[in-house]
Amino acid sequence: MSLIKVSGLTIAYEFRQSKLIAVNAVDLDIGEREFLAVVGESGCGKSTLALSMIGLLPKAVATIVGGSIIYKGTDLVKLNAKELRKYRGTEIAMIFQEPLTSLNPVYRVGEQLAEAIVIRENRAELGEMATSASDVMQETHRVDEVNVKVSRLPRGKKRISSDLKAEAVEALKLVRIADPEQVLERYPFELSGGMRQRVMIAMALSQRPKLLVADEPTTALDVTTQAQVLKLMKELMTKVNTSIMLITHDLAVASQVADRVVVMYAAEVVEDSDVFSLFSEPMHPYTKGLLSCIPTGSKDDTKLMPIPGSVPDLVNPPVGCRYAARCPYVMDVCRTREPPLVEVKPRHKVACFLYGQ
Ligand SMILES: Nc1ncnc2c1ncn2[C@@H]1O[C@H](COP(=O)(O)OP(=O)(O)O)[C@@H](O)[C@H]1O
Ligand SMILES: [Mg+2]
């Protein structure tokens, strides 16, 4: 059963007096307790897709021009800002690449964690007030402004009650932070990158969301810490009964944790498959290209070696298959018609004329 179902989603940015389609007719769904990875190079529309699912697209420049995002029978695309706030955090939560942009530097970990817990319990009471850093982020993407605005938000209790503290300690234990009492007293900058990301995960999960959207959560971490955080997310998924949508440019990261992988190229889904089928039998030439970039030895370097060429301009995308210019298997038809996404094997869809579309 789908927890969330995205259909035909199309999102445009106003960009230098023209329209840039960052997400084009995207279909995807996420099941209950499913770990979905969305993979693709930078600029493919992954973050835009993620922001739309949590209602955090930058209002001034982005418009959803078509499609739906059905969550528990409700189309999130049709909701206004106030209605969306009921879903954000409690139903659908998000963590970002660099936790320093989401954690407030002037408050201790304990205060911020306690606030997340208070928000969960007092949602109705807090009503229409902006209740989290994410709400403020919608109005501005500048970190310094976010911090200033967040510090003016009504805070929970500066002196944290013992019940709240106990819950905050539990939340930190859940993300395997040793010595949680001490960590509660620290400021974000006093923690390592891996610790900060764990705190962010603890904060997101303390609101008990049904879906956790994680946008490149481990990209800023070293390889060992990255593996630990990914493993933790996977464990937590079953423990706290949530689904996860992990966004990454790194197919190797996806392979470590995902049940299913959606590959995006130039604003579109080109392949959607369960993880075993994707790795044993990758179909789209783009997916094959990404796979061949994964080092197989014991080298520490997990960076993508770029496929020759680059993602096309999304203001004026090419006619036909968007990957044609970089594809080693390109055929005439690819330059005139766009291949539809078709299920060519059970649970394995691909958009490529090599498979008889
Ligand atoms: N605020 C914005 N204004 C205009 N264009 C944007 C904005 N944010 C992203 N874009 C453009 O949308 C496309 C997709 O970006 P993004 O969703 O960030 O991709 P990804 O997360 O896969 O790197 C890119 O071409 C990017 O330049
Ligand atoms: Mg991104």
Within the chain, which residue ranges are assigned CATH 3.40.50.300?
1-91+244-357
Residue 284 Cβ inside 6 Å of ligand 1? The answer reads no
Contact status, residue 113 vs residue 206, Cβ threshold 8 Å? yes
Q: Which atom of ligand 1 has the smallest separation from the CA of 15?
A: 4
Q: Which atom of ligand 1 has the smallest separation from the CA of 41?
A: 22
> Which ligand sits closest to the CA of 43?
1
Which residue has a Cα nearest atom 5 of ligand 1? 13
The rounded Å distance from CA 314 to ligand 1 centre is 9
Report the alpha-carbon distance of residue 231 to residue 217 in Å, rounded: 12
Residue 13 Cβ inside 6 Å of ligand 1? The answer reads yes
pLDDT at position 99 is 59
pLDDT tens over the chain, length 357 residues? 899 999 999 999 998 889 999 999 999 999 999 999 999 999 999 999 999 998 889 889 999 999 999 999 999 999 998 899 889 888 999 887 765 567 888 889 998 888 888 776 665 344 333 344 444 444 433 333 333 344 434 444 455 678 888 989 988 988 889 999 999 999 999 998 888 888 988 888 888 899 999 999 888 888 888 888 898 899 988 888 999 999 999 999 999 999 999 999 999 999 999 999 999 999 999 999 999 877 766 555 555 466 889 999 999 999 999 999 999 999 999 999 999 999 999 999 999 999 987
Q: Which atom of ligand 1 has the smallest separation from the CA of 249?
A: 22
Element (H, E) at 233: helix 223-239
Q: Note the CATH number of domain 1-91+244-357.
A: 3.40.50.300
Contact status, residue 112 vs residue 103, Cβ threshold 8 Å? yes
Taking each continuous run of H as one helix and of E as one strand, the counts in the chain are 13, 12
pLDDT at position 299 is 54
Report the alpha-carbon distance of residue 73 to residue 69 in Å, rounded: 9
Residue 18 Cβ inside 6 Å of ligand 1? The answer reads no
pLDDT at position 138 is 42
Residue type, 106: V
Q: Which atom of ligand 1 has the smallest separation from the CA of 44?
A: 22
Report the alpha-carbon distance of residue 179 to residue 176 in Å, rounded: 9
The rounded Å distance from CA 15 to ligand 2 centre is 17
Decide: pTM greater than 0.85: yes
The rounded Å distance from CA 311 to ligand 2 centre is 14
